Amino acid sequence: MARIEFTLNREPVVYEGDAARRLIDVIRDDFGLKGTKEGCGEGECGACSVLVDRAVVPSCLYPVANVAGRAVVTIEDFRNTKRYQVLQTAFLEEGAVQCGFCTPGMIIAAEALLSKDPHPTAEEITIGLSGNLCRCTGYNMIIRAILRAAKDGDGLW
């Protein structure tokens, strides 16, 4: 039984349990945050992407032990930000959403990418999204949405 303190969506929280548990299970089952999705369980699809200390990580293969002392942000908190509003508008306008199962993870990956590089090229976006699979869109409309968010949200990142 481990005791792990970290911040989840800016609130200090304490986890008590098996240190090897997957971060995704702690987020979804213990804290009821269902916006983080499980698509593959082995770090391939990125539907489970969350931010740990502002970097995108696949929460399905992140042991909860490793978030000790770190800041975890899920879509449930990120959606309250101005950056999110810009991304959401861009995703809506550019048709970047179809089935939506990959979308919260895409948004998290986009946030991580823009945090590092506020004005990425289309190619840099494809690299930034390379851990997030989408089976519906063929990606081009997502890439366009992120280019648009970078432009419309100039100065936010």
Residues 58 to 87: which contact other proteins by CB under 8 A? Answer: 58, 60-63, 65-66, 68-70, 74-76, 79, 84, 87
Q: What burial letters (b/e) apply to 82-120, b meaning 16+ CB within 10 Å?
A: ebbebbbebbeebebbeeebbbbbbbbbbbbbbeeeeeb
Number of residues in contact with other proteins under rule CB under 8 A: 87
Alpha-carbon separation of residue 21 from 61, 64, 66 (angstroms): 9, 6, 10
Which listed residue (10, 81, 92, 118) binds other proteins by CB under 8 A?
92
* Binding residues among 111-150 for other proteins as defined by CB under 8 A: 112-113, 122, 125-143
Minimum gap (Å) between residue 85 Cβ and other proteins: 10
Is residue 38 at the binding interface for other proteins, with CB under 8 A as the rule?
A: yes
